[in-house]
Amino acid sequence: MKSADASDPQTPDHPQPSDRQSSRKRTWAIALGITAAFLIVALGARWLAMRGGDRPNGRPPAAVNIETAAKSDMPVTVNALGTVQPVVTAAVRTQLSGVLFQILFKEGQMVRKGQVLAQIDPRPYRLALDQARANLARDEAQLTAAKLDLARYATLLKQDSIASQQVDTQRAAVGQLMGTVAADRAAIGTARLNLDYTSIRAPISGRVGIRQVDIGNYLTPADANGVVVIAQTDPIDVSFALPQAQLAVIGNNAGAGTGLRVDASDQNSNAHLATGQFLTFDNQVEAATGTVKAKARFANAGNVLFPGAFVNVSMLVQTLHNVVTVPVSAVRHGSHGDFVFIARPDNTVRLAVVKTGPSLGDRIAILSGLAAGAPVVTAGADGLEDGAGITVGGKRATGRSRHPRGNAG
């Protein structure tokens, strides 16, 4: 009798052909299901990317602000730190020696040229003047007598009563006395001048500082500090440094007589203080800094500019007329230089490399690379790149209706 498990085709260890076919069908069904799932996921991701933005990488469009480039006049200014300097500073000194007798000014007072500021003891110099006058009177009397004698001697010489040598001697004595009288008159002038010098006067108009001496001190012309220092404050100068690149334009405008406006403002609050005109610049450039010293002159009747103070200086060099300008926030900086993003009608942006010029406030001049009327991105440009999608004010930018079409190239 044969063993049943050795030849029975119905045993579980030997599957029938129909079972193998069912297994293959299940395997193909699973594979097709996985493939279909992958396809559905890919199509869904593509659909989401299409709904999320126009960029191929699927990044959502950036919310931006747009402003149109416009043409306007742009002033070119030079800004620098300046120092206020008096036009003239004079130390008031005595011109002769004497005891300080009187002080006739108050510290910080405004004085006029020729005003008496102090007085030294005039009595010795008044006596010297009296002595010079007495000497003149004496010598004039001697000269008169000598002239009379000369006239008598001349008469006697005609009568051949005296020798001619005596007449010549008398004539020489008259000439000598005439020289003495002339010297006496000069001495009177010197004594009168010295007496006038006892009144110490202001050599210039301006503001006096703190006095350097007190009453009772003995003054001499060799005193280094003098009596007081006067600084002329109206008009007054401001010195500052100019970049050498601007020298040609500044020189041409100043030489043409057009004048260059200079504004001075407070260094701390930046409040406007005064407006003046460019005066001159130095005759050489400082090699270490590439700048040249310059001066501007200001009317200072109100004394708003104080000598020695630091101020911010802004000088109008020239004005660029009808130049393209955009907000400063529209200009970006990268490895390829300055650039802006221009909005396209298809809700994307184009990167345009530009050459920038001077700026004023929140506007900057574009010298090349951008045309007037081009819509540029002014806010929300972080992360943008060429061809990126954008929205404006939370909505997709239509381009045609919201932004004027520019011809920036």
Neighbours of 52 (CB within 10 A): 13
Q: What is the CATH number of domain 93-229?
A: 2.40.50.100
pLDDT at 398 over 90: no
Structure confidence at residue 316 (pLDDT): 83
Domain 78-87+234-320 has CATH 3.40.1160.10: no
- pLDDT per residue as tens digits for the range 243-272: 887 777 777 665 544 568 899 999 888 899
Q: Residue 146 pLDDT more than 70? A: yes
Using a pLDDT cut of 70, give the percent of the chain over it: 83
Instruction: Please report, for residues 31, 262, 272, the alpha-carbon distance to residue 34 in angstroms, rounded to integers and kept in the order given.
Output: 5, 79, 76
Q: What does 208-277 look like in DSSP terms, one character per residue?
A: E---S--TTPEE-TT-SS-SEEEE--SSEEEEEEEEGGGHHHHHHHHHTT---EEEEEETTT--EEEEEE
Least confident range from 50-59, 178-187, 260-269: namely 50-59
Given a contact cutoff of 8 angstroms between Cβ atoms, the answer to whether 262 and 296 are in contact is yes
Size of the chain, expressed as the number of residues it contains: 409
Q: Which CATH architecture has domain 62-73+321-396?
A: Beta Barrel (2.40)
User: Could you count the other beta carbons within 10 Å of the beta carbon of residue 163?
Assistant: 12
At 64 the three-state DSSP class reads strand
State the chain's mean pLDDT as an integer: 83
* Predicted pLDDT of residue 49: 54
How high is the pLDDT of residue 381? 82
pLDDT reported for residue 18: 58
What average pLDDT score do residues 2-10 get? Answer: 46
Q: What is the pLDDT of residue 15?
A: 52
Q: What is the pLDDT of residues 197-245, one digit of tens each?
A: 999 999 999 999 999 999 999 999 998 889 999 999 999 999 999 888 7
Q: Where does CATH 2.40.50.100 sit in the chain?
A: 93-229
Residue-level pLDDT at 89: 93
User: pLDDT digits over 360-397, tens only?
Assistant: 888 999 999 999 999 999 988 888 888 888 888 644 44
- The helix/strand count (H/E) of the chain reads as 5, 23
The boundaries of every CATH 2.40.30.170 domain in the chain are 78-87+234-320
Pairwise CA distance, residues 396 & 406, whole Å: 19
Query: Residue 282 — pLDDT band, cuts 50, 70, 90?
Result: confident
Q: Pick from 305, 364, 303: which is nearest to 338 by CA?
A: 364
